[in-house]
Amino acid sequence: MRIGFSGHQWRDSIDWQWVRVAISDGLSLAPAGFEGLCSLAAGADQAFARCVHAHGGRVVAVIPRDDYETFFGDAADLASYFFFFGCGGAQD
C-alpha cells in the first residue's frame, strides 16, 4: 500500500505533538510493508516521515526540484531531509 501525504510547514499555534499523534494513529491501520510518500519538507511532511519510519514503513521522497535542499532555512530540518532521503528514502 502507498500512502501519500502533504501538510503545512508552519502555522501559528500549531500543536506538533497532536499532528504526530494523529498521523501515527492513521498509520497504525496501514498493512505491513506500506510506503509513505511525501516531499520531506519541514514541518508536517517530516513528521509524517518520522511516523512512517516508526511504524516500519518505507519513506519514499517525492522531490519537486533538483535544488530542493537549498530551500531549507533550518539546519535541523535540512539534516532530517538528508536522513530520510539517504536512509531508505527512495526518490520517485
pLDDT for residue 6: 87
- Grid cell, residue 59, equals 519513506
pLDDT for residue 11: 81
- Cβ distance 49 to 36 under 8 Å? yes
Q: Which domains does the chain have, with CATH numbers?
A: 2-91 (3.40.50.450)
pLDDT for residue 91: 55
pLDDT in tens, 26-77: 999 999 999 999 999 999 999 999 999 999 999 999 988 999 999 999 999 9
pLDDT in tens, 2-28: 999 988 888 888 898 999 999 999 999
